[in-house]
Amino acid sequence: MTKFTLSSLSKADLQRVVHLRESSGKGNRYYNWTQFDNLPLTQKEQQRLQYLQEDLLTHKLLWFNEATLWSLAIYPLLLLAEHDDIQVWAEVPLHAQYSQFEMDGVADGILGKIVTGSLETPYLVVVETKRGVEAQTPLFQLYGQLLAAANLNWQNQPSSPQEIFGCYTVADIWTFVRAEVEDIESDMPTLRVEHSREYTEKSEAEKILKILKGIVSQYVDTVLKAE
């Protein structure tokens, strides 16, 4: 059994244990799952976005450490996307055991269903890019977290493929990822991923929030239909 730490995953690590299928990136700004321009925002949400953007414009975000960026730029938007028992949590432990490998680590943030104080179903995982000379690309760490989250969801509802969303942030720049994980019980699962374009929070906070709320609304609609 091969064991991986999520924070140090590389593309080579992933290709040893999953069939990795990445979108080419061509035309990626037009994926349906990023198109929520018609989703309405309340007056309160619009006001909070305005305050947030005005605050961000007064700061040089590249000077801040990860904790400050999380509290100033990332968490406030995730908080606006909450709905009933779908909440945002920070520093969430993740563990996944597949047939031939295990993954352990901590997600910087998760937007998911919380039941009696514990995470039941993650819908979106967040990786905040680390700084410094030892910093690595956040992409493959995010892929690992998507695999871990999909595994957790599959245990609660074993359907295939498992759809899961994620994003990674660099200062106030957000990039979203949609993933599908197939053949979870096989020796070599398949991970398919699509990437959005980059969104800058200082000028596109409303667009980012609508994508977050759009992702949440998909799961809310699914639950309502099941009931």
pLDDT tens-place string over residues 143-202: 999 999 999 999 988 888 999 999 999 999 999 999 999 999 999 999 999 999 999 999
Q: Which residue has the tokens 């295990």?
A: 102
pLDDT at 94 over 90: yes
The structural domain count of the chain equals 1
Could you tell me the pTM of the whole model? 0.92
Cα–Cα distance, 66 to 91 (Å, whole number) = 12
β-partners of residue 83 are 86
Task: Give the structural domain span for 145.
Answer: 2-226
pLDDT at 28 over 80: no
β-partners of residue 115 are 118
